[in-house]
Amino acid sequence: MSTAPQSPLIHLEGIKKVFLTDEVETHALSGIHLDIAQGEYVSIAGPSGCGKSTLLAILGLLDSPSDGTYVLNGQQVAQLDHSQRARIRNREIGFIFQSFNLIGDLTVFENVELPLTYRGLNAAERKLRATEALEKVGMSHRMRHYPSQLSGGQQQRVAVARALGGQPSILLADEPTGNLDSKNGDAVMDLLRRLHREGATICMVTHDTRFAKHADRQIHLFDGRVVEESAGEPAGVR
């Protein structure tokens, strides 16, 4: 709708990532150019080992690129130090993993609350936001449960709530349905779609073409390069 040439939420330019192990250089990413706009839903696909997770890690500031420029929300973030990256990660990024990655010792509520704790919010604020996020994913009735008492699909919904709680600029998801059966997978995907409709920016790695089509834009990686970009099916038409 907006026609103004808005600067993108994420701007990657010439991103390279080289891993050095035992004198062997692995070029995981070899010059990625990518813009992701506010409110966009991008899916990334490609064969195993092509660099999807590496790209996601760089987007999520878990790792820094060997070379290239990364501008997030107008800020250069490629070469920040650990604690600055932790702060931006905490505020701007929501992560959803293939293997849920809930902390077994903490209740559902505490898991969702955790990133808010790291942000230094007070208890009341944390409670408000965590409850809200759990309501969004339909898990507020299991707040006091421990993750081990939930099904896989439920655990992943809690993980989504945890990613949402901090109201991040972008949700990064690495094969969020990989460990789920198709029914639970569908439910999680429906959830992401709904969040996208409500305005969330999402960048998701998936092998499943069905789900890739949910996205506004599909990116194909091969050997560390973007080889193809295509529009998704107009499911989310405006």
Is the CB of 88 or the CB of 187 nearer to another protein? Answer: 88
Tell me the C-alpha distance between 76 and 78, whole Å: 6
CB neighbours of residue 155 within 10 Å: 23
Using CB under 8 A, pick the residue from 32, 44, 50, 102 that binds another protein.
102
- Please, are residues 191 and 160 in contact by the beta-carbon 8 Å criterion? yes
By a kind-dependent CB cut-off of 5 to 8 A, residue 103 interacts, out of ligand ATP, another protein, Mg ion, none, with another protein
Per CB under 8 A, the segment of 33-41, 130-138, 148-156, 207-215 that binds another protein is 148-156
Q: Does 224 bind another protein (CB under 8 A)?
A: no
Q: Does 211 bind ligand ATP (CB under 6 A)?
A: no
By a kind-dependent CB cut-off of 5 to 8 A, residue 62 interacts, out of another protein, Mg ion, ligand ATP, none, with another protein
Quick note: the x/- pattern for ligand ATP over 87-126, rule CB under 6 A, is: ----------------------------------------
| Torsion angle of the four alpha carbons 94, 144, 180, 178, in this order, in degrees rounded to the nearest 10 | 30
Q: Does 222 bind ligand ATP (CB under 6 A)?
A: no
Q: Does 18 bind another protein (CB under 8 A)?
A: no
Burial class (CB in 10 A: 0-12, 13-18, 19+), 147: buried
- Please, are residues 162 and 133 in contact by the beta-carbon 8 Å criterion? yes
Q: Provide the b/e sequence for 12-25 (b: ≥16 CB within 10 Å).
A: beebbbeeeeeeee
